[in-house]
């Protein structure tokens, strides 16, 4: 299934994309696409629906973040060998974990703000894992049982805040609008191998990132298992799994975003995002 949330920001309604690409409303069946709807039993009930009987959503409404009420937004840094090399950072022996605040989450096509004082705002296309079953001390071989599905994440980053202002990475990763997710939450039955997904990102029509989840250092089950050793994961939590090469930081000379530019990004089977950058008010 492809689950969506559509409508005005803060007033999104639950929906799904049917086999013909038609947006259909789910609001008579579930209140939102969030934790309790993403557990295996609930997803099984939705999967058994006759989608042709669901109301069609007319027009082209805004798509919101594909998961509502996200509890934790966990990120894995330097998880592609060639990205670690372009960033000039050592290859990690274990996954690098940091957190993005949930206040950064926006819809897949919402504007991205260049923060006040920012000079090095960057892009990062990433595969997002959406948790569907509580996970604590999960073994690698059991990790897929805890995944509801996948989505696109743009891990927007302000490098000057992240790398030049001291402390941890978080303040360069958590600015408002720095976490577009969606357009869809695609359930695991549609993504049989999350390590075989091509991904790309363009800025103003120029290809910047071209990669594949095949080159992740730590794969999906390893990431889920590893994170669960340090914090419990709950349905609706998101883990963003790192980015392939081609970020602005790694270019020679580096290239960063300015207001008025457009990011366009896609992962096989997970749809596309398109964001325009604006100056923060």
Instruction: Please tell me the predicted confidence (pLDDT) of residue 90.
Output: 84
Q: What is the per-residue burial (b if ≥16 Cβ within 10 Å, else e) of 87-107?
A: beeeeeeebbebebbbebbbb
Nearest-10 Cα torsion for 68, 145, 271, 244: 110
277 contacts 260 by C-beta, under 8 angstroms: yes
Asked if residue 84 has pLDDT above 80, the reply is no
Q: Is the torsion defined by CA of 91, 77, 166, 233 positive or negative?
A: negative
Instruction: Please tell me the predicted confidence (pLDDT) of residue 88.
Output: 78
Average pLDDT, the chain: 96
128 contacts 75 by C-beta, under 8 angstroms: no
Quick one: tokens of 70? Answer: 């996200």
Q: Quick one: pLDDT band at residue 33, thresholds 50, 70, 90? A: very high
CB-based burial label for 56 (10 Å; 0-12, 13-18, 19+) = exposed
Instruction: Please tell me the predicted confidence (pLDDT) of residue 252.
Output: 93
Q: Which helix (H) or strand (E) holds 160?
A: helix 159-164
Quick one: tokens of 235? Answer: 């349905």
Q: Is the torsion defined by CA of 127, 131, 136, 140 positive or negative?
A: negative
Q: Quick one: pLDDT band at residue 9, thresholds 50, 70, 90? A: very high
Q: State pLDDT tens for residues 199-217.
A: 999 999 999 999 999 999 9
Q: CA geometry: angle at 215 spanning 40 and 180, to 5°?
A: 55
Instruction: Please tell me the predicted confidence (pLDDT) of residue 249.
Output: 93
Cβ neighbours, 10 Å, residue 226: 18
238 contacts 72 by C-beta, under 8 angstroms: yes
Instruction: Please tell me the predicted confidence (pLDDT) of residue 47.
Output: 96
- How many Å is the maximal CA-CA distance in the chain? 55
Q: Which residues contact 236 (CB under 8 A, 6 or more apart)?
A: 34, 35, 38, 67, 68, 69, 70, 71, 130, 131
Lowest model confidence (mean pLDDT) among 54-68, 85-99, 229-243? 85-99
Instruction: Please tell me the predicted confidence (pLDDT) of residue 281.
Output: 86
Instruction: Please tell me the predicted confidence (pLDDT) of residue 168.
Output: 87
Asked if residue 83 has pLDDT above 90, the reply is no
CB-based burial label for 281 (10 Å; 0-12, 13-18, 19+) = exposed
Q: State pLDDT tens for residues 139-174.
A: 999 999 999 999 999 999 999 999 999 888 899 999
43-50 CB contacts, 8 Å cutoff, 24+ apart: 43/1, 43/132, 43/148, 43/187, 46/1, 46/3, 46/16, 47/1, 47/187, 47/189
Instruction: Please tell me the predicted confidence (pLDDT) of residue 147.
Output: 98
Asked if residue 86 has pLDDT above 80, the reply is no
Q: State pLDDT tens for residues 90-106.
A: 889 999 999 999 999 99
CA atoms of 243 and 100, how far apart (whole Å): 15
């Amino acid at each position: 299934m492809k689950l969506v949330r559509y409508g005005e920001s803060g007033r999104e309604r639950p929906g799904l994309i049917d086999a013909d690409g038609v947006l259909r409303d789910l609001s008579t069946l579930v209140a939102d696409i969030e934790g309790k709807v993403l557990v295996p039993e609930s997803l099984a009930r939705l999967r058994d629906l006759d989608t042709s009987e669901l109301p069609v959503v007319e027009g082209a409404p805004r798509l919101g973040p594909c998961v509502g009420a996200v509890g934790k937004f966990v990120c894995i840094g330097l998880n592609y060998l060639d990205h670690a090399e372009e960033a000039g950072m050592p290859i990690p022996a274990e996954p690098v974990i940091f957190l993005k605040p949930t206040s950064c989450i926006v819809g897949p096509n919402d504007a991205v703000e260049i923060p006040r004082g920012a000079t090095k705002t960057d892009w990062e296309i990433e595969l997002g894992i959406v948790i569907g079953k509580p996970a604590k001390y999960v073994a690698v071989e059991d990790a897929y049982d805890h995944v509801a599905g996948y989505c696109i994440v743009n891990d927007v980053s302000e490098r000057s805040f992240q790398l030049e202002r001291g402390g941890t990475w978080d303040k360069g990763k958590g600015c408002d609008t720095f976490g577009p997710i969606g357009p869809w939450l695609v359930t695991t039955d549609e993504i049989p191998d999350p390590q075989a997904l091509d991904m790309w990102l363009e800025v103003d029509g120029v290809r910047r990132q071209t990669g594949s989840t095949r080159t992740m250092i730590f794969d999906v089950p390893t990431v889920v298992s590893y994170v669960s050793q340090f914090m419990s994961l709950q349905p609706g939590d998101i883990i963003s799994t790192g980015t392939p090469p081609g970020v602005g930081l790694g270019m020679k000379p580096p290239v960063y975003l300015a207001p008025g530019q457009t990011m366009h990004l896609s992962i096989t089977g997970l749809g596309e995002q398109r964001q325009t950058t604006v100056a923060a008010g």
